[in-house]
Amino acid sequence: MTKTPPPVILTGDRTTGPLHLGHYAGSLQNRVALQHTHEQYLLLADSQALTDNAHDPEKVRRNVFEVALDYLAVGVDPAVSTICVQSLLPALAELTLLYLNFVSLARLERNPTIKDEIRARGFDRDIPAGFLCYPAAQAADITAFKATLVPVGEDQAPIIEQTNEIVRRLNRQIGRDVLLEARALIPRVGRLPGVDGRSKMSKSQGNAIPLSASDGEIEEAVRRMYTDPGHLRASDPGRVEGNVVFTYLDAFDDDREAVAHLKARYQRGGLGDMALKSRLTDVLKALLGPIRERRSELKRDPDFVMDVLRKGTRKAQNLTAETMAEVREALGLFDLRAS
Ligand code: TRP
């Protein structure tokens, strides 16, 4: 009996900066856990990064390597996961161009993720066409790898929905299921808030803890962390909800019982912010220390990292070109081999 092949996962990150704790809680942990039971592809999404960073291609290029370091440092194993560079996969661009004919401009403009991102970036009336159309490009990413599972943050769910709409329209046009629909795999923990507690963790907001943070940087970030503004003395009762320190302990402290105890003490009164923060500092140092060390080891061995990217990209080139060929043929585009 032939074994059924493992489900295919594709996910990726725009290469606009090194990854941070929010990425770790949201998706990196998931990827490390899933890589042994799934066929996993990780896309260094430099083309997509250009859709809102065309003014700074140097940043986009530099961060391809940085994000690759982050992947490897957290435990993505290149022996089982494939890491590849988006802009080096021409089939993705070809598929994107086809898919743009199976989605309307109005539908792209209605995508809630795109709407939010346009607002956040202040694009207003000057939206790069590539940006508006990136859901079609992401549909190309996902379908080119024949992925059925896409681990992403909650905010990306509408992009996956739109991918599936394109898939259905194309399949309907062709008359059979050439492309596969995919499911978003949303992490159980919600978005990790930034250290200021105001919004999600993001480098551009200056409220992020990078995976490469030093012990000193961890201490400083936790010291600045938002707690309960009404909790002035250690003896005062404090609030746990909306208290970023507890949100982080919930996300990263494996000793659930100890955290439950701390919460009870904090709510009752008798636990100071200093003592509370000192526990989180220890937890984060223990988590990030080994990641930082592995990251700097890898940084000293760029040949190894480049080799991983070269092999991964080559494999992805073959796979995505195959899908493109299948779609060409299924759509019945002109073929020079036929007469
Ligand atoms: N849009 C994703 C982000 O904002 C990055 C990305 C590009 C992606 N291509 C993808 C995610 C394909 C999942 C699947 O980070």
CATH class of 8-192+302-338: alpha beta
Confidence of residue 267 (pLDDT cuts 50, 70, 90): very high
**335 C-alpha vs ligand 1 centroid, how far in Å?**
32
- Please report, for the chain, the start and end positions of each structural domain, with discontinuous segments joined by +: 8-192+302-338, 215-296
Task: Give the Å distance between the CA of 300 and the centre of ligand 1.
Answer: 28
Check if 140 has its Cβ closer than 6 Å to any atom of ligand 1: no
Q: How far is the CA of 153 from the centre of ligand 1 (A)?
A: 9
Q: What DSSP character marks residue 328?
A: H
Architecture of the domain whose range is 215-296: Orthogonal Bundle (1.10)
2 pLDDT above the threshold of 80:
no
Ligand 1 centroid to residue 45 C-alpha, Å: 7
Question: Each residue of 182-210: b (16+ CB within 10 Å) or e?
Answer: bebbbbeeebbbbbebeebbebeeebbbb
Decide: pTM greater than 0.75: yes
Q: If you take atom 8 of ligand 1, which residue's CA is the nearest one?
A: 12
The closest of 29, 64, 25 to 48, measured between CA atoms, is 64
- CA neighbours within 13 Å on the CB side: how many for 302? 4
CA 22/CA 155 separation, integer angstroms:
13
Q: Is 85 in the pocket of ligand 1 (CB under 6 A)?
A: no
Q: Is 225's pLDDT higher than 90?
A: yes
Indicate which residue's Cα is closest to atom 14 of ligand 1.
Answer: 11
pLDDT (tens digit per residue) in 9-35:
999 999 999 999 999 987 898 899 999
Mean pLDDT of the chain: 94
